[in-house]
A = this chain, B = another copy of it.
Amino acid sequence: MSVITIERKVLEKNEAIARKNRDLFARHGVFVLNMVSSPGSGKTSILERTLHRLKDRVRIAVIEGDVQTDLDARRVAAYGVPAVQIITQGGCHLEASLVHDALANIDLASLDAVIIENVGNLVCPSNYDLGEAMKVVVASTTEGDDKPLKYPAMFRNSSVLIINKTDLVPYVNCSLPALQANALSINPGLTVFQTSCTTDAGIAEWCAWLLEQIRLASQGGASAAPIGIDE
């Protein structure tokens, strides 16, 4: 019982800090995404493709969360955007306080958007609000089409699903329609994109949507706006 009480206290404390982060983002009109997925689903590659297309059109900073190494922050920083690496030293998810600390190294007043790449983990990060406008869950076709059913909380708590590595569908045991239907059975409100960072398929559509969200946030509207189903 005591463990459950402590866990609830941890989550309550996290939510209080997440609210502070969210207020801070809103005050600066900055749109913030929390990207979550299994390890190796392609979050960093999607980020690279996104920065390649958008870095000269909007001002984006990236916060990278990893158990160890700053490999991802280095990949992202190569695009000339501000990048802060959080190393959790074994921790399985980012918490709002870690993001709050990382913001000390970021000038929100000079930004339009912050993209947070969470630790690769399809379970634990689903419980932790970081103050983001929404969670974006990335599912790779190589993981199979049953993952939304087996890890439902992450799909339930996300607003957007990016089905990545669509170029590998001919070689893997994954049905794109089944993967999308399984995800929508858990969360009918998901906005869905299908992308490949190898062929660039779907990246333009994702970036166009992201630009529109950033524009809405700068007008003070995105965080609260309901997101429709994208096909």
Assess the B40–A140 pair: CB atoms within 8 A. Answer: yes
Assess the B71–A120 pair: CB atoms within 8 A. Answer: no
Closest to A149 in B: B69
Assess the A142–B165 pair: CB atoms within 8 A. Answer: yes
Assess the A150–B38 pair: CB atoms within 8 A. Answer: no
Closest to A126 in B: B90
Interface residues on A, range: 35 or more
Contacts of A81 in B (CB 8 A): none
A86 to chain B, nearest CB (A): 13
Assess the B68–A151 pair: CB atoms within 8 A. Answer: yes
Chain A positions 107 through 143: 1 when the CB is less than 8 Å from some CB of chain B, otherwise 0? 0000000000001111110000000000000001011
Q: In the bound complex, what is the Cα–Cα distance between A145 and B115 (angstroms)? A: 24
Assess the A122–B121 pair: CB atoms within 8 A. Answer: yes
A6 at the interface (CB under 8 A from B): yes
Partner-B contacts on A (CB < 8 A): 2-3, 6, 10, 38-41, 66-69, 71, 90-92, 119-124, 140, 142-144, 146-147, 149-153, 165, 167-168, 171-172, 198
What are 27 A-B pairs with beta-carbon distances under 8 A?
A: A2-B6, A38-B38, A38-B120, A38-B143, A39-B150, A40-B140, A40-B143, A40-B144, A41-B143, A66-B150, A67-B123, A67-B152, A68-B149, A68-B150, A68-B152, A69-B150, A90-B123, A90-B153, A92-B92, A92-B121, A119-B123, A120-B151, A121-B122, A140-B142, A142-B165, A171-B171, A171-B198
